[in-house]
Structure formats: structure tokens, C-alpha cells
Structure 1
């Protein structure tokens, strides 16, 4: 795991088979500093409409190649996490108030997603190293879809946070 200005990544950029970083400014009206775990909870609280179907298709296809099923996002918030805990299918590898590093490692690829908040800017950075032809083939549709999904999730989060805060 390597720390960069954008977040944490699996290895140096030149060895990655996929790298993406997306950011969004958090509104100044938040009453307290948001933690990375709070951002995770808000993002997964309302999964994108087609995500459940996409994860079902992914699991049905990938399991035929001996890849474990991941099931998708539960939407269940967590108050605390520690290294070694699971957030849905991700393993928590690093946690601090402003950073959360999640991984999923399988025989076809390793994935790391980093959620980091610095100066009211939320950044989600994802990196992947593939291990075989299936991993490379898997990333052909998943890479572009991932970029769209993360961008959409960040926009939804921004809209959610600028709504008047309930008392």
C-alpha cells in the first residue's frame, strides 16, 4: 500500500492495470468534520438503482470462472471499523478519521479503494492489479463502469449534503 496525494493505492502507478481518482468538494455548511467512514455510510445508504442487478450479473458470470461472489453493497451503516473488519465485500486495511482503505483480493485481481477527506474535499481513489487474462478481461467493462459509478455516487452525495440539515 502506497500513500499518494490522492489517497492510497496498491503499488506504484506504473504497475497498476487500472487507476482512477474522483473528488468532490464537501459543503461548508456541514456542522462537523465528516469522517471517511461517515462518507462511506452516506454513499452506500442509497445504492444506485441498477447496482444490485449489476452485482448479480457480475456474480453469476464470475462464479463460473471460479471467482468468489461478492454480493454488492448492503446499505448497512457502521459506526466504527477496525483493520481486518469487513465493509460488505471489502476488507478494511487502513482506517483513520480522514482515510479509509478497502481491498478485495482474488485470484484474478487485487482491488484497493481509498476514501480520503482533506480540507473538505472527498476523494475516492481506486487501483487494480490484474493477475491473469480473466482479470484483464473483467476490467474491460468494469473500468469504465467504475468511473461512471463513482462520479454518480459523488454527485448524489453532494446533493444529499446541500439539502437543509434536519434538526
Structure 2
């Protein structure tokens, strides 16, 4: 049985808390996980490698549409370099659609900056109610009108996608 996934505040332990001022959008989804000893980076890699097909389909649609207005084609969420171990990822490396910004055993912060927005995502290991847990947080800062327009369909879809992807961590 899958552990419940619930929306919550960005954990106090997350470095993303320093990015909340002026954010247009932010959220956090959390679930408990079996004790495992994996780093936050390993959890990120494990979950994006198992991205649901419908999420990859939506990413391909997104890439086609935003290309018409000159935004980046990000590829698919799970576009990872084959054979690269979690311990080999360093700040500046690409990990799927994001660049690694900060990495420790307990938290990895990834992000992307384009002319319409700056997004940062945290995968943070926690203890919740005496159990191991993981929180996935997102903070988005907009760059002008194009960012606002972009977020109209993205914000509601994000609230479906993150729990669906996070669910893959416990299966």
C-alpha cells in the first residue's frame, strides 16, 4: 500500500525557504518512505527514472508549444545520463530537465532559469511522525507577462504531476 502524499509547508530544513520572498508560486508535497539510506539525489533519480508516461507526454506537448514562443525545449523529466551515479552529480550538472544547484545527502536543489521564469525544486529527506519522509518543494519566480501566461495551465497541472511522480518513490 502506498503512503499518503499530502501538501504541506516547505520544510524548515530546506534551503528553498530562502527563495520564498517574491515567489509567484510555491508548494510542497510530502510522503513517508521505508528506511532506505538513499541520498536525496538518489531519491530524485529513482523517481524521475520512473516518471509516468502521461507526464512525459505532457512534457512533449509543453516543449512543442513553448518552442513557438522561443522558450527552451527541456526534454523529458527522466532524461538522465545513463550510468551516472547519484554521488557523481555536482552543482552545475544537468539531471533531467533541471540543473543541480545544491547537493547534500539530505537535500538536492535543482532548477532552471529561462526568460519567462526561474524554477527551483528541492528533494529533502526528513523525519515525520517518527518515520523517514521525503518532501518535494517547488518555488517559481516569474520574469514578466510571458511567465504569468505560462503558469496559467502549469500551476494546476503541477498539483497533479508532483504527487503522481512522488507516488513512484514508494512503489
Same fold at TM > 0.5: yes
Q: Given the superposition, is the C-alpha separation of residues 114 and 12 from structure 1 closer, same or farther in structure 2, using an over 3 Å criterion? A: closer
TM-superposition CA deviations, 1:66-103 (whole Å, max 9, x none): 11111112255641200111102211110011110001
Q: How many residues align?
A: 154
**1:115·1:123 contact (CA, 8 Å) conserved in 2?**
yes
3-state secondary structure, aligned to 1:15: coil
TM-score relative to the length of structure 2: 0.82
Q: CA RMSD in A?
A: 1.9
Q: Distance in 2 between matches of 1:136 and 1:6?
A: 29
TM-score relative to the length of structure 1: 0.84
Structure 2 residue aligned with 1:131: 143
Q: Is 1:154 the counterpart of 2:166 in the alignment?
A: yes
Q: Is 1:50 the counterpart of 2:54 in the alignment?
A: yes
**2:101·2:110 contact (CA, 8 Å) conserved in 1?**
yes
Q: Distance in 1 between matches of 2:113 and 2:20?
A: 18
Unpaired segments of 5 or more residues in structure 1? Answer: 161-167
TM-superposition CA deviations, 1:1-22 (whole Å, max 9, x none): xx96162338553411010101
TM-superposition CA deviations, 1:87-145 (whole Å, max 9, x none): 02211110011110001000000000011102221010000011111111111111111
Structure 1 residue aligned with 2:74: 70
Structure 1 residue aligned with 2:97: 89
TM-superposition CA deviations, 1:47-67 (whole Å, max 9, x none): 112122211111111111111
Q: Distance in 1 between matches of 2:98 and 2:68?
A: 21
